[in-house]
Each structure stands twice: as structure tokens, then as C-alpha cells.
Amino acid sequence: MSTLSDSRLRVVLLLEVRDGAQRRFLDAYDQLCRQVAAVPGHVSDQLCQSIENPSQWLITSEWESARPFLAWVDSEAHREMVRPLHGCVNDTRSLRFTIMRETGHGAAGVRTSDGLLAEPRVGDGVVRHALTFTVRPGSEQAVARILADYEPPEARVDDTTRLLRTSLFMRGNRVIRAVEVKGDLVAALRHVARQPQVRAVEEAINPHLEVDRDLDDPDSAREFFMRAALPAVWHRAAPDGNHAHDGTRTGARDDAKVRRHALLYPVKYGCGGAVATLLRRQDELAAGDPANPVLAATVFHRDDLVMRMVDITGPPERHAAVVAGVGGGRRAPAVLGRLVELGPDGALSDEAGLRRFLAHCAMTPVTDRRAAGH
């Protein structure tokens, strides 16, 4: 599953406009349209109002691909553009779709080319997402203790949404929390944020944050979640019963022996997209290898922040190339070496260099909690 395709993208934004704010909302939308029209990769926008409920609105936009949209939506420029909308709406929900079929107006009928998705992606019904933030240098150990010591929230959100797993890692002063959700991601995040034990933890780490936030203030909370968003752009999982343990093929999966690891790549300026694409292609090439020890791999990417999370049995350094995401081709380590900061003694040309790179990128696990029955 990958959002890194070159297929055209349709973004759907559902909004509930506050009573009496319709004119301000329209003015803010018109201003936003003029600004977003200059964003590279943007194609068009459309604004619709519900015929049943006048407070419900729909904004759709089309983009050349997911790449330019994700680069824009996670930027400071986007946060400034949409700020005038915040005072006009009570609730928003954003959905993103690659365009697979398109009805033409002539005899051609349904088009399946011209930048449309050729083949459907295969998914497992699980939404993967991460949130990241930094804490003040020197507070890392205190923050780790706070984040490791709390009662997990109720897994059931509603009849259709369930929180499956939360994995939290740190490297230096950066915290990354990855979540897996069955159903509606936004509903799950809101559910978690409302839990008393989670609120207590968030309040406890607030004094340690590099960027202040107030989760009780809707605008501050919205800005935090936008700024902290680290979307999953690639996920691959080996079929159950068809994966390797220490290089040998096995017919049964022993989840008790599976360990989750995370790597935070030292990406050179402007190379985040290239690193994420390389990791995806390498995973695709390695997917057919019955000796591939990686049971699941997920790449999270925003700007020059790239994290790779892998599930594997055995020590990761035993399979350094595939864990690092360069096990699918001989030239891949050299390509990755040009995209990341290796330092004066760094090299990916041999197994020892790859192991040093793994150790350099490895994030420290803080918590990894599954919902009951998952």
C-alpha cells in the first residue's frame, strides 16, 4: 500500500460551518482559492453546499499526485492559508483518494489512463498514522518516563472504529507516536485525546515541549495536530505463514517473537521524498524473496522527516540491509548514501557500515501496546 504513486489525487474536505459565519466562510474560501492556485501540483477546486443541511459544506480539490498535496498540506504555508477558515467551522474531516476511473464526455466512455491509477492498491482496512514533536533538550529521560507510564485508552471508539496499536519511539529530543486504527482515524484521535489518563500525560509533558500548545483551545489543538502529522506513505506486510525467521522459510507465525523497530533517517536537505521513494521501491523488490525476514514495514514521511518502522524476528543487525530498506538491489546502499548524512566515518558499502548506520538511525522504543485480541 503506498500513497507515493504518480496518479492524480482527489481530496474531499467535509465541513460544518457555524451559524452566522457563512459569509466569512465564503470570503475565506475565495482567499484560499487564490492562494492555493499558485501551489505546484494543484489542478482545481470545487465548493458545494448540502441541499438537506445548509450548515454542511464540501470542498473537493484535484492534484497532479499525492506528492505535491502532501508537501503542501504539511507545510507552514498551508497552516497560514487555512487559518481564516478555523473561526468559521465547527468540524472538518479530510479524505484523500487516488483517481482510478474517469467518465469522459465523448465516445471514449470511461478513461483509465492520463494519470489515473492503473491498478487498485491492496489494503488491510487499517489506517496508519504518526504524530511527532520535539521536547526541550535535557528533558528526554523525564518525557520518556511520563510517556511510558500511563493506562492505555479504551480501544473501542464506536461501532465502526477501533484503536488497534500504539507504538511510541524517541531519538534525541524527537518523539514519534505511531497508531494503527480500524475505521475512522480522526474519530480515533479525538477519542484518545478525550481520555482522562491521556490528558494527564499530555499535561505532564507540556512544560517540556519546544513548541507550546494548549489542547483545551481548539485553534491551538488544531495547529498542533497539523504540525505534528507524519502520514504513512507506504506499508507492506508479509502474508501470514509466508515469512522467514533468520533467513529460513516457515509456515507459522509466532507473534511472540516479533519485535518492532523504528529508524529515523538523517535525511539531507530536500531529499525526504527521494528517501521515502527509495525505501518503497526496495521493499517492493524484496517482497518476493522468501528469505526476507521483515514481516511488515511502514514508511512515514513529511518534508525531510522519514521514519521506517519494521516488524522482524531476531536481531535487526543480522539483516542490516533489508531492515535499513536497501535489501532489494545492489546499488541501493550507494543511492541511499547520497541522500542521507553519513558523517565522516559513515559508509554503506559493506555489512559493517550498514550495521553502524542502523545503530545511528535506531529510535528507542518507549511503549508498544496492542488492543486486546489484536
Checking if the pLDDT of 219 tops 80, the result is no
Mean pLDDT of all residues belonging to the chain: 85
Q: What is the spatial distance between Cα 108 and Cα 102, in angstroms, rounded to a whole number?
A: 10
Q: Would residue 138 count as lying in a domain?
A: yes
Domain check: are 237 and 362 in the same one? yes
On the question of pLDDT at 135 being above 50, the answer is yes
Number of domains in the chain: 3
The rounded distance, in Å, linking the Cα atoms of 280 and 276 is: 6
**C-alpha distance from residue 345 to each of 153, 349, 352 (Å):** 44, 12, 12
Q: Is 302 part of a structural domain of the chain?
A: yes
Alpha carbon distances (Å) from 17 to 14, 22, 33, 36, 51: 10, 7, 17, 21, 14
Give the per-residue pLDDT at 312: 93
What's the rounded mean pLDDT across residues 187-208?
Answer: 88
pLDDT recorded at residue 305: 94
**Overall average pLDDT of the 88-94 stretch:** 83
Shared domain for 361 and 237, answered yes or no, is: yes
For cell 503542501, what's the residue? Answer: 72
The per-residue pLDDT for 11 is: 92
Per the structure, the complete domain to which residue 223 belongs is given by 126-229
Query: Does residue 219 form part of some domain?
Result: yes
360 and 274 housed in the same domain: yes
* pLDDT tens, residue by residue, 241-298: 444 433 333 444 556 688 999 999 999 999 998 999 999 989 888 877 777 889 999 9
Q: Is the pLDDT of residue 110 over 70?
A: no
- Per-residue pLDDT reduced to its tens digit, 18-76: 888 889 999 999 999 999 999 999 999 999 998 888 888 999 999 998 888 888 887 88
Tens digit of each residue's pLDDT (9 = 90 or more) over 323-340 = 999 987 788 999 999 999
Terminal CA-to-CA distance of the chain, rounded, Å? 20
What pLDDT, on a 0 to 100 scale, did the predictor assign at position 44? Answer: 92
The answer to whether residue 114 is domain-embedded is no
* Residue 37 CA, distance from chain mean position: 25
Q: What percent of the chain has pLDDT over 70?
A: 87
200: CATH: 3.30.70.100
169 and 54 share one domain: no
* Res 51: pLDDT: 84
Is 198 strand, coil or helix? helix
Whether residue 33 is contained in a domain is answered as yes
CA–CA separation, 231 and 299 (whole Å): 9
Residues 24 and 82 in one domain: yes
Secondary structure percentages of the chain, helix, strand, coil, to 5? 35, 30, 35
Q: Of 67, 102, 137, which residue constitutes the final position of a domain?
A: 102
Of 209, 229, 249, the one marking the end of a domain is 229
pLDDT for the residue 103:
77
Of 195, 229, 263, which closes a domain? 229
**pLDDT for the residue numbered 90:** 81
Same domain, 352 and 255: yes
More confident residue, 268 or 86: 268
CA distance 230 to 228: 6
Confidence bin at 195 (pLDDT 50/70/90): confident
Any domain includes 48: yes
User: Residue 196 burial (CB < 10 Å; 0-12/13-18/19+)?
Assistant: exposed
Residues 243 and 223 in one domain: no
- DSSP string of 98-124, one letter each residue: E---EE-SSTT-EE--TT--SSPPP--
Report the pLDDT value the prediction gives residue 5, as an integer from 0 to 100: 66
> Hey, what amino acid is at 305?
L
Residue 177 CA to residue 230 CA, distance in Å, equals 9
If you search the block for the grid coordinates 475565495, which residue do you land on?
A: 30
Per-residue model confidence (pLDDT) at position 250: 42
Cell 505463514 appears where? Answer: 241
137/141 Cα distance (integer angstroms): 10
Over range 135-162, report the average pLDDT. Answer: 90
Does 220 lie in the same domain as 237? Answer: no
Q: Are residues 168 and 253 in the same domain?
A: no
Pair 197, 130 in one domain: yes
* Residues 179, 64 share a domain: no
In a domain, 374, yes or no: no
Q: What pLDDT shows up at residue 190?
A: 81
Residues 27 and 45 in one domain: yes
pTM over 0.85: no
Residue type, 22: Q
The answer to which of 121-125, 184-188, 293-297 has the lowest mean pLDDT is 121-125
Query: 1 near 66, Cβ under 8 Å?
Result: no
What is the structure's pLDDT at 113? 57
Residue 121 lies in a domain: no
**If DSSP codes are grouped into helix, strand and coil, which group holds residue 128?**
strand
